[in-house]
Chain A
């Protein structure tokens, strides 16, 4: 993983010093609330419903065990002993004191971490595939490109006061695990006919109030031009994005208003001016960055390791279940990636305690070269586990509460913090997640349903990605009461689709019953081997709608 050089250390420490000064001036009344707002947001600090919230950047989800231990210590010292993994691979503290934040940032800087641009109208943390570098279907490791983008976007002087926030995702695999079509810019790594690396650049995707699937603005971009092209794209957005209405300020609105052709042409015109300018990536700079993401020293297991694993799985149903859902294929023979589930029933999805962070660090050291990845599904991945260690890891994970064998199923849901924490929320989302986990606790039933993404957002800002859930739940406010709109048929991948709303919203008590009805319609109508999404695509919304409202009325 990327190791800081002296420049990186210097920059984060200067950033801490700068924010310390800004906080002091704010507390002394020399900076207004209004002026302090973008400064604190660009250091990850929100003022939440109950307390400040600090969002810590985890660049493209990668963390070392040393960083995890520091996060545990910070969580214990400055917060209430728990933290929250977000849907953009970051980590949030819910209860820090404003005056402690510069100190927290200094602690983070000591382990090569920061909270730069995790909020505010600027370029946010770059996200990617949690299986980057190990996925069997990978075309090219996206991480060196993510880090180049992280550096280019960090303290970019031109783009700190954009019309609105700006999110970039990079995908390097056949399948899409980064939801790049739902980002302001999606970077898709491909190979051209000659086998050379190229980028397809998509723009104008996003969720929020107006969900939009990103459109292709540039194909076949040579790697050396990645940064100059994005400089041009952001300049067009910064100059022409809507600043009068914050709900129409994302780049997706500009791309829609102009049409993708006009937008792409404006970017191309701008890019040609500085195409070979100083931000052009030199071959040796790209190569040097790739050297930060070399393969670990894999040790092949014994020849019969796969066979022994199979025997263990055959002999122990619980282990075999965990193996089938929580372990994943790997490029390297004899290795698997493992998801540590943060979705046990009764815990807010993505929440971890300080002790658990330390346990994850220990598991990483013991089983996966001391590194982990945060996922956009709010779990944690150990990317490099040797097959003969899977059983021991399972036992350790089980003891720590990370072995809920439901990864990718209905109850492995994405869920925003909702009305329990967030000042934007219209409704609570965590209790809805819990009611669904309690209702659907039959593991055989969950497995029979198969891969099924259920996403919950507490408001239309869509942090819980409800538009792209196969089942999406949105908290809405109706005359001061919390209601839940249910939609189905979304997909975040390359077959991107936005979910369609079933109809009138439901009370919180009705949500689990309604989901149960949807699932019954699916299991009744499905053909052999068909997923919920495939059945929906074949039969449409009506059968689901009819059953759901027949039952309610």
Chain B
């Protein structure tokens, strides 16, 4: 089962990515961008849900619905594809997004601190992730430049 690091804790990931038609459960679902834009299926009672986007999808389409989204998951198709780092900065900076940013897809331990500094709050990780991965979030206690954090 995929893992999730959130709030300095490693847990089993509660998130489910829906396809175009799958009915939405009551919480913890991620909608593909097109489906969100078409139907805006907000979870009842403020339950957690979100939209999942790829690093190459333009963010402008999302701009006017950001306030309704408690979470945006950015998918990394390949760990060497660093677009998602900038996507997070763009959402935080240019678009002023204040909800939760979750990194998912092909990411690994040694990227966590940089992802965090670019504005990601949580990380969906492979089954093999264990508590030692949390250590990498603290690899560096200093930084040379300002980023999202």
Residues of chain A whose beta carbon lies under 8 Å from any beta carbon of chain B: 7, 10-11, 14-15, 17-18, 22, 31, 35, 38-39, 121, 151-152, 154-163, 227, 235, 238-239, 243, 270, 273-274, 277-279
Contacts and interface: CB of A to CB of B under 8 A. Distances in A.
Nearest to A270: B94
B83 A10 contact: no
Contacts of B82: 121, 158-163, 238
A273 B94 contact: yes
A158 B110 contact: no
B104 interface: no
A235 B141 CA distance: 24
A434 B2 CA distance: 58
Contact of B146 (A10, A14, A278): A278
B142 A159 contact: no
Contacts of B86: 158, 235, 238-239
Given A274-B93, A279-B145, A35 B83 contact: no
**For chain B, which range describes its interface: under 10, 10 to 19, 20 to 34, or 35 or more residues?**
20 to 34
A157 B94 contact: no
Interface of B: 55, 79-83, 85-87, 89-90, 93-94, 108, 110-111, 113-118, 139-147
Give the secondary structure class of B's interface.
loop
Contacts of A7: 142, 144
Contacts of A227: 145
B85 A161 contact: yes
A22 B93 CA distance: 32
B139 to A, nearest CB: 5
A160 B117 CA distance: 12
A38 B80 CA distance: 8
A39 B114 CA distance: 13
Q: Which of B85, B140, B145 has the most CB of A within 10 A?
A: B145
B116 to A, nearest CB: 8
Contacts of B115: 157
Contacts of B94: 270, 273
| Closest 3 pairs between A and B when the two form their complex, measured CB to CB | A161-B82, A278-B146, A157-B117
B142 A10 contact: yes
A235 B89 contact: yes
B145 A152 contact: yes
Nearest to B78: A243
A121 B143 contact: no
Given A239-B90, A243-B81, A279-B145, A157 B139 contact: no
A268 to B, nearest CB: 13
29 contacts: A11-B140, A14-B141, A35-B79, A35-B108, A35-B110, A38-B80, A121-B80, A152-B145, A155-B140, A155-B144, A157-B85, A157-B115, A157-B117, A157-B143, A157-B147, A158-B114, A158-B118, A158-B147, A159-B85, A160-B114, A161-B79, A238-B85, A238-B86, A239-B55, A239-B90, A273-B93, A277-B93, A277-B146, A279-B145
